[in-house]
């Protein structure tokens, strides 16, 4: 048995213990927990065939009591120095995979700052927010089949585009390829109908970082009257580590004041808004620090709205927050905002950018407060743009 020493300031300490799917040259893909710079093979460590799976879905479906049971067992094993040596692998020696089978994908639009900025860009002579925005969490239905794990290259999408000065649309590679820095939440326990905000932690297993890649020119031409489709559906990247809700209790905060008061089905006894700090690096240069705590709608309210009409939820359902933006320019989580529609280029060392060029690399990282001044790390989600 082995005792694992990790730095006291590690974002992957005993208070975190996120889950992922990993493989090595000697093992098939299976469930692991990250501890410091190590991956703990749960199949080998706990001698439990449930963790020989190449997906977290079966474990997530077991529910909160099972999540607590396993977290307690892993914590006791690590703190007691009882980890089998053969169950430990350095992070640098493993390959990470998509952590769960994505059953469905919904993307929200929950940042008032982001929605207001886009309203000012697209509708300069009208109110930035549409009349429904502060009454319900606005969302669109995404494409589950193109959710990919961090590190997957992103091929520039093709589609119809029509610039304001063009008389008719043309077909070709997107010329305004963008990112959206978001947080995503994965359902563990399914339901056949509504999930109230206060039932959130009984159904949602954990959280990941999301980059919802967006082709703004394709999106702008297609989205009236039904909303995003091809401008979004080509790729959505998620981080490989799923931080359990059980690790995020210290990060819970209140949402900004919601005025008017939400309808009863959206009211929370205690808010599941979260204090998560993100960073966005473009070709190695940090260009934005979006604060998730500024989001108007909490993830519990999002899930409540998503299911209130009787829609079922399934294990592996992913729903994301939409772009996270704060009140300051350096807190904008999409390049269309950061460059104000391309009119204010961003300096990256000796280069400037408005939208993504082939070969560009984007890395979004995130962390949240944990117990006793610790930080809970989500790792990062990264992607490089390849030509169409």
Let me know: does 241 contact 99? Beta carbons within 8 Å. Answer: yes
Question: Beta strand pairing status for 236-238 and 204-211?
Answer: antiparallel
User: Residue 383 is inside which H or E element, if any?
Assistant: strand 375-386
CA–CA separation, 175 and 235 (whole Å):
16
What is residue 55's predicted lDDT score, i.e. its pLDDT?
Answer: 98
What is residue 334's predicted lDDT score, i.e. its pLDDT?
Answer: 98
CA–CA separation, 268 and 272 (whole Å):
8
Active site residue 113: no
Which residues are within 8 A (CB) of 222 and not within 5 positions of it... i.e. 6 or more apart? 159, 160, 228, 229, 230, 231
What is residue 91's predicted lDDT score, i.e. its pLDDT?
Answer: 98
What is residue 117's predicted lDDT score, i.e. its pLDDT?
Answer: 97
What is residue 92's predicted lDDT score, i.e. its pLDDT?
Answer: 97
Which residues are within 8 A (CB) of 166 and not within 5 positions of it... i.e. 6 or more apart? none
User: DSSP label at 317?
Assistant: -
Counting DSSP H helices and E strands in the chain, the numbers are 8, 26
What is residue 331's predicted lDDT score, i.e. its pLDDT?
Answer: 98
Catalytic residue among 3, 97, 113, 114: 114
- Cα–Cα distances in angstroms (integers) from residue 187 to residues 321, 324, 375, in the given order: 14, 21, 24
What is residue 233's predicted lDDT score, i.e. its pLDDT?
Answer: 98
What is residue 376's predicted lDDT score, i.e. its pLDDT?
Answer: 98
Q: How many CB atoms lie within 10 A of CB 263?
A: 11
What is residue 26's predicted lDDT score, i.e. its pLDDT?
Answer: 82
Q: If you write DSSP's letter for every residue of 22-35 in order, what string do you get?
A: EEETTEEEEEEEEE
pLDDT per residue rounded down to tens, the chain (388 residues):
899 999 999 999 999 999 999 999 988 999 999 999 999 999 999 999 999 999 999 999 999 999 999 999 999 999 999 999 999 999 999 999 999 999 999 999 999 999 999 999 989 999 999 999 999 999 999 999 999 999 999 999 999 999 989 999 999 999 999 999 999 999 999 999 999 999 999 999 999 999 999 999 999 999 999 999 999 999 999 999 999 999 999 999 999 999 999 999 999 999 999 999 999 999 999 999 999 999 999 999 999 999 999 999 999 999 999 999 999 999 999 999 999 999 999 999 999 999 999 999 999 999 999 999 999 999 999 999 999 9
């Amino acid at each position: 048995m082995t005792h694992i020493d990790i730095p006291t300031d590690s974002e992957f300490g005993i208070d975190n213990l996120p889950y992922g799917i990993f493989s090595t040259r000697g093992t098939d893909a299976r469930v692991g927990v990250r501890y410091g710079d190590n991956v703990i093979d749960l199949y080998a460590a706990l001698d439990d065939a449930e963790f020989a799976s190449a997906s977290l879905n079966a474990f997530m479906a077991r529910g909160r009591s099972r999540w607590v049971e396993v977290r307690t067992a892993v914590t006791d094993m690590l703190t007691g120095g009882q980890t089998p040596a053969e169950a430990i692998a350095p992070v640098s020696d493993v390959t990470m995979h998509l952590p769960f089978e994505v059953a469905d994908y919904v993307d929200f639009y929950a940042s008032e700052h982001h929605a207001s900025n886009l309203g000012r860009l697209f509708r300069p002579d009208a109110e930035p927010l549409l009349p429904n925005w502060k009454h319900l969490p606005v969302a669109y239905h995404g494409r589950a089949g193109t959710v990919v794990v961090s590190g997957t290259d992103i091929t520039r999408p093709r589609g119809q585009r029509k610039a304001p000065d063009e008389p008719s649309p043309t077909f070709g590679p997107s010329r305004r390829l963008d990112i959206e820095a978001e947080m995503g939440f994965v359902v563990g326990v399914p339901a056949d109908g509504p999930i109230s905000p206060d039932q959130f932690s009984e159904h949602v297993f954990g959280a990941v970082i999301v980059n919802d890649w967006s082709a703004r020119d394709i999106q702008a031409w297609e989205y009236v009257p039904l909303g995003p489709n091809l401008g979004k559906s080509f790729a959505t990247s998620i981080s490989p580590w799923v931080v359990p809700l059980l690790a995020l209790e210290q990060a819970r905060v209140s949402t900004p004041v919601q005025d008017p008061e939400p309808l009863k089905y959206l009211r929370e006894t205690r808010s599941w808004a979260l204090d998560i700090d993100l960073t966005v690096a473009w070709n190695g240069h940090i260009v934005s620090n979006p604060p998730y705590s500024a989001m108007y709608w909490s993830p519990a309210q999002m899930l409540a709205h998503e299911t209130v009409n009787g829609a079922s939820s399934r294990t592996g359902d992913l729903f994301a927050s939409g772009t996270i933006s704060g009140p300051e320019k350096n807190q904008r989580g999409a390049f269309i905002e950061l460059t104000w529609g391309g009119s204010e280029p961003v300096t990256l060392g000796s280069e400037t950018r408005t939208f993504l060029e082939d070969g560009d690399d984007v890395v979004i990282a995130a962390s949240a407060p944990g117990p006793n001044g610790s930080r809970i790390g989500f790792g990062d989600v990264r992607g490089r743009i390849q030509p169409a």
